[in-house]
């Protein structure tokens, strides 16, 4: 009887919520926190996020701290493959790890090219798509202008570096946008806006020596995305909205420094309500101020009114990885709020034949998640699978269970590495962050900067890859080397394995 009453009550509340969800307000922030937020004061990073009070935050340069930031800032949901934290439930649009082969473009590292976004459940049965990126920093266009390069040389540099990265994002998101789904892309583009470097701005900013139609931002606009800050503040002379740079730390700014607006909140199928700059006190363009400001970028936070899309079948496992001996949560969103079934199988298993644990015929009004035990599970790779009442698979996600005392490992799996040859590598125990990477170094190289090449792990906790010789910066001469498993686009070494190159 209690379940019936709860289910009926949920149906009433859900119906009302869906009506309200026809128009939902969301506040979205882009924040490059500067190498893990440790360069000035990590606590100020948390304070800045709290003060901005966004619903969803895309973090750049979190250096493996996404989960810590989410917990300290009061955000219950986090996506470490995209470095997004959220007050709304987040679901992976893919299977929880990268499945495509090869070394991806920096802008979409950790995800497949068609799963750039996460789904944010902003109302019962209703979602928006959110992506977060960071484009390559060098060579930096405004510095090329500063140093006397021609317009043609500047545009060629952009075409060689950031345009392919922006194109990958547009390709991965524009289909959703064309279908009417509210889509948001936040990030540090390391490139100014084509709306800002105009003849009118040349009179205001001597650094603008000639107008530039910066191609990365133009590409996003041509793909159907709106630059929310410039839409809310259409006159760049009146509101430059500069996000680079408040200093190192503020107020120290290098004499040769350039200044520009390179951090964006892009939107499709959303009405822009407002857009604000978050940064240091005393700056007239900063609406949300904090002293000291903890980053070399100012943040952007924009508010939108949206009509969210119907949610597909969604399933996720938390935490990731799961530690043996502890519990884990399977969370779902079932289509049309039908009763749901979730089955755990070995990786790639058939839920009808290979089920290990799970739950069946659950009313969404009763619960949208279930806590399960790891008793009986060996460390390894698993799937959580949602099936309908007829046993048809609707969606699945991958997760791993690791032993409580597991340590990161890496090895070169081939018997011999020849000069000019590829390098086969396997690893385990990686945290599974977006930019976890494998670097090749000379043996015992003391400087972590001196890697000879790198590839991303695809945000996998364990896996194998072949390091292409073509991705190395130089051909490896005969001698002693090592591969290092590295932490989330940073230089903390997790594991090392030696290897020898022979003629």
377-407 confidence digits (pLDDT tens): 999 999 999 999 888 999 999 999 999 988 9
* Contact assessment for residue 278 and residue 29, using Cβ atoms and an 8 Å cutoff: yes
- Strand 479-486 vs strand 493-502: parallel, antiparallel, or unpaired? antiparallel
- Strand 423-428 vs strand 463-467: parallel, antiparallel, or unpaired? antiparallel
142: helix, coil or strand? helix
| Residue 203's pLDDT band (cuts 50, 70, 90) | confident
Encode pLDDT of 251-307 as tens digits: 788 888 999 999 999 999 999 999 999 999 999 999 999 999 999 999 999 999 999
Residue 141 and residue 276 in one domain: yes
| Residue 11's pLDDT band (cuts 50, 70, 90) | very low
Residue where a domain stops, chosen among 387, 402, 417? 402
Residue 163 pLDDT more than 60? yes
Q: Per the domain annotation, does 2 fall within a domain?
A: no
- Average the pLDDT over 316-333 and give the result: 95
Q: Per the domain annotation, does 7 fall within a domain?
A: no
Q: Per the domain annotation, does 4 fall within a domain?
A: no
pLDDT (0 to 100) of residue 4: 31
For position 145, which CATH number holds? 3.60.10.10
Residue where a domain stops, chosen among 309, 324, 359? 309
Cα distance between residue 210 and residue 41, in whole Å: 38
Cα distance between residue 373 and residue 257, in whole Å: 54
Residue 390 and residue 271 in one domain: no
Residue 123 and residue 139 in one domain: yes
pLDDT (0 to 100) of residue 20: 45
Residue 476 and residue 415 in one domain: yes
Domains in the chain, number:
3
For position 342, which CATH number holds? 2.60.40.1930
CA atoms within 13 A on the CB side of 500: 5
Write the DSSP symbol of residue 109: T
Residue 181 pLDDT more than 80? yes
Write the DSSP symbol of residue 124: T
**Packing angle of the helix pair 151-160, 215-222 (nearest 10 deg):** 60
Residue 385 and residue 331 in one domain: yes
| Residue 46's pLDDT band (cuts 50, 70, 90) | very high
pLDDT (0 to 100) of residue 388: 92
Residue 15 pLDDT more than 80? no
Residue 231 pLDDT more than 90? yes
Reduced 3-state DSSP string for 198-247:
CHHHHHHCCCCCCCCCCHHHHHHHHCCCEEHHHHHCCCCCCCCCCCECCC
Instruction: Pick the more confident residue, 129 or 17.
Output: 129
Residue 444 and residue 473 in one domain: yes
Cα distance between residue 397 and residue 378, in whole Å: 18
Encode pLDDT of 333-354 as tens digits: 998 889 999 999 999 999 999 9
Residue 175 and residue 322 in one domain: no
Residue 192 pLDDT more than 50? yes
Q: Render the burial of 87-109: b for 16+ CB within 10 Å, e for the rest.
A: bbbbbbbbebbbeeeebbbbbbb
- Average the pLDDT over 28-53 and give the result: 97
Q: What percent of the chain has a predicted confidence (pLDDT) above 90?
A: 87
Residue where a domain stops, chosen among 354, 377, 402? 402
Residue 10 pLDDT more than 80? no
The residue range of the domain holding 390 is 313-402
Residue 18 pLDDT more than 80? no
CA angle 428–490–55, rounded 5-degree value: 95
Residue 188 and residue 105 in one domain: yes
pLDDT (0 to 100) of residue 120: 98
pLDDT (0 to 100) of residue 139: 95
Q: Per the domain annotation, does 226 fall within a domain?
A: yes
Residue 156 and residue 281 in one domain: yes
Residue 354 and residue 396 in one domain: yes
| Residue 186's pLDDT band (cuts 50, 70, 90) | very high
Look up tokens 């194109």; give the residue: 167
Peptide bond between residue 264 and the one before it cis (omega within 30 degrees of 0): no
* Long-range contacts, stretch 149-153, CB < 8 angstroms, 24+ apart: 151/210, 151/212
For position 443, which CATH number holds? 2.60.40.2840
Residue 259 and residue 358 in one domain: no
Encode pLDDT of 422-480 as tens digits: 999 999 999 999 999 999 999 999 999 999 999 999 999 999 999 889 889 999 999 99
Residue 249 pLDDT more than 50? yes
Q: Per the domain annotation, does 12 fall within a domain?
A: no
Q: Per the domain annotation, does 194 fall within a domain?
A: yes
Q: Per the domain annotation, does 354 fall within a domain?
A: yes
Residue 95 and residue 185 in one domain: yes
Q: Per the domain annotation, does 16 fall within a domain?
A: no
């Amino acid at each position: 009887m209690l379940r019936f009453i709860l289910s009926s009550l949920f149906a009433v509340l859900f119906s009302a919520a869906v009506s309200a969800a026809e128009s939902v307000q969301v506040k979205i922030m882009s924040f490059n926190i500067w190498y893990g937020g440790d360069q000035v004061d990590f606590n100020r990073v948390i304070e800045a996020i709290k003060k901005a009070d966004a619903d969803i935050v895309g973090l750049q340069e979190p250096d493996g701290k996404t989960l810590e930031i989410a917990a300290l800032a009061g955000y219950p949901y986090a996506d470490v493959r995209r470095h997004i934290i959220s007050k709304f439930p987040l679901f992976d649009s893919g299977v929880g790890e990268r499945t495509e082969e090869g070394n991806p473009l920096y802008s979409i590292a950790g995800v497949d090219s068609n799963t750039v976004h996460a789904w944010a459940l902003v109302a019962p049965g209703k979602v928006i798509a959110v992506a977060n990126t960071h484009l390559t920093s060098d060579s930096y266009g405004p510095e090329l202008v500063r140093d006397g390069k021609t317009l043609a040389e500047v545009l060629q540099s952009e075409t060689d570096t950031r345009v392919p990265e922006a194109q990958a994002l547009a390709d991965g998101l524009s289909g959703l946008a064309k279908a009417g789904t509210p889509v948001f892309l936040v990030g540090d583009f390391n490139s100014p806006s084509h709306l800002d470097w105009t003849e009118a701005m040349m009179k205001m900013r001597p650094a603008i020596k000639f107008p530039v139609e910066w191609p990365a931002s133009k590409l996003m606009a041509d793909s159907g995305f709106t630059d929310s800050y410039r839409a809310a503040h259409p006159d760049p002379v009146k509101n430059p909205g500069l996000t680079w740079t408040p200093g190192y730390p503020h107020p120290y700014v290098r004499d040769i420094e350039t200044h520009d607006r390179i951090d964006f909140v892009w939107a499709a199928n959303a009405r822009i309500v407002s857009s604000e700059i978050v940064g240091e006190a005393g700056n007239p363009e900063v609406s949300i101020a904090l002293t000291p400001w903890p980053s070399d970028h100012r943040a952007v936070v924009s508010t939108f009114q949206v009509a969210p899309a119907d949610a597909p079948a969604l399933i996720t496992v938390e935490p990731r990885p799961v530690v043996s001996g502890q519990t884990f949560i399977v969370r779902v969103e079932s289509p049309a709020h039908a009763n749901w079934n979730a089955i755990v199988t070995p990786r790639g298993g058939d839920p009808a034949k290979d089920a290990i644990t799970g739950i069946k015929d659950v009313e969404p009004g009763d619960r949208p998640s279930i806590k399960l035990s790891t008793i009986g599970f060996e460390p390894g790779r698993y799937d959580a699978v949602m099936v309908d009442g007829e046993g048809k698979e609707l969606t699945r996600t991958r997760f791993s269970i690791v032993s409580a005392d597991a340590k990161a490992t890496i090895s070169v799996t081939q018997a011999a590495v020849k000069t000019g040859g590829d390098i086969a590598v396997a690893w385990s125990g990686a945290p599974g962050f977006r930019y976890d990477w494998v670097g090749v170094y000379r043996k015992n190289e003391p400087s972590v900067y001196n890697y000879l090449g790198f590839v991303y792990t695809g945000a996998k906790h364990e896996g194998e890859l072949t390091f292409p010789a073509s991705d190395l910066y130089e051909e490896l001469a005969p001698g002693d080397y090592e591969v290092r498993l590295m932490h989330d686009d940073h230089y903390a070494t997790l594991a090392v394995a030696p290897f020898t190159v022979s003629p």
